[in-house]
Each structure stands twice: as structure tokens, then as C-alpha cells.
A and B are shown apart, each in its own frame.
Chain A
Amino acid sequence: MKQPLEQEPDWEEVLYRYQDMVYHLALVHTKSATDADDVFQEVFLRLVRKNSAFESEDHRKAWLIRTTLNCCNSFWNSAWKRRTVSMEECGDAIDIAHWGEGGVLELIDELPPRYRTVIHLFYYEDMPIEQIGRALKISYNAAAKRLSRARELLRKKLEGGTAYAGFSEELSK
């Protein structure tokens, strides 16, 4: 029987392990470096505040994904106001004016967030559908359907443009 993870892990190690995942998921959703920075910090603060152990690394990863998405949604609720902030105020933010210009990111950017999420988790995080479903708290069926619809939308966008191999690899990883 697997033991739950430590309630007081080495936070630095946890941060380094998942910082890339949290930041990029936030970036894909907020498309703003400053917002992604805020989400990033909030997610790891909530991780520390969470006062129960995770049963496994998968469990922790799923929790981090959900929390990142929740934080992104919260930020979006007031996003239209925050967008009036001038570029100078963005400080050391990365230049996302050219975010994904002409590439795959640009295509993914045009997808509704729920589809962006599954595409990101599947292609960037290499997560199998079952794990995506668990992370998003949806059934395997729903995750597979969502991914399939996202891929269908992407395929449509790819028509007549760049051809990508590996786009149609088997879904049942």
C-alpha cells in the first residue's frame, strides 16, 4: 500500500518540479506574463496553505493543475479592467506581443480555454487522457471527448497551412 506524501515536503523541491507546468498552463490561459506571474505565486501559496497530504505525486500534480485553472478563471473575471494597465507598468514582463506568432501557439490561442487546457496537458505535459480526466475532475469519456473536439478544431485551423506529423498519434496513450 502506497503511503501518502509528506505533509511538509521540501517546498523548494516541489516548486522546482512543478514551476514549469504551473507557469505555462497559466500563460496559455492568461496570455499575459504579469497575470501568469500572479497566478503562479497564488497557486504555490495555496499549496502551502493546503493542510493535508497528497496521496501521490499524481494527486499533487492534479491539484496544482486544477488550482492553476481556478486562479486563472478568477483573474479573468476582472481581466478587462486590468487590461487598461499600460505596457510600462508591466515591468519585467516578457514581451507577449509576439506570443506564438505564426506558430502552433497562435493556433492553440484561438481555442476556447477548456480546449486549450486539454491540448496543453496532452501535448505539452504528455499526460494521458485518464490523468487529464482526473486532473480536471471530469470523466474519462468527457476528457476524451474534449480532447477530440479540441483536435478537431485544431485540425480545421491547420487545413491549408503547415502540416504537422504526430498530430494524429493515438489518443490512448
Chain B
Amino acid sequence: MAVIKYFGAVAEITQCTEEHIEVKNETLSDILEHLFKKYELQQLPIHIALNANLVSIEAETAVANTDEIALLPPFAGG
């Protein structure tokens, strides 16, 4: 199963930091559309990382059940 990770303000909305989903033929954008609707995240500025690399939110990238997708709010280090 693919791992979905949530951080910061996003995790506060999803009320979990991680969940697992069974991926069949969905692309990254399909999965994100589902998650954004489920948690009503459309208004948040969110970066997406696939296997720890930033990717475009509209990416028609294939997702495997071994992949890790992270939903990241704006970075605030320092």
C-alpha cells in the first residue's frame, strides 16, 4: 500500500500524520484530488513530495504501492 504522510497544518486538518491506501491505476493527481476533497484541503498552499522529492501537484505520474506521498504546508524553518 502507498503511504500518505501529512505534516504541520495539513496534519492538523487530517487529524493523522500518516495513512495507507491501496493504489490500482490511479495517478498522483487522482490520489491528490481524492485527498483534497476528503479533507477539504483545496484552499491550503500545499507542496507535494513523491518519495521525498517535490513534484508538481498536477503531475500525471503513476503511483506504486511502494511509494510515499507527502502533503507539505509552507516551510517555516529558521
A and B co-occur in one complex: no
Give B residues with C-beta under 8 Å from A. Answer: none
Give A residues with C-beta under 8 Å from B. Answer: none
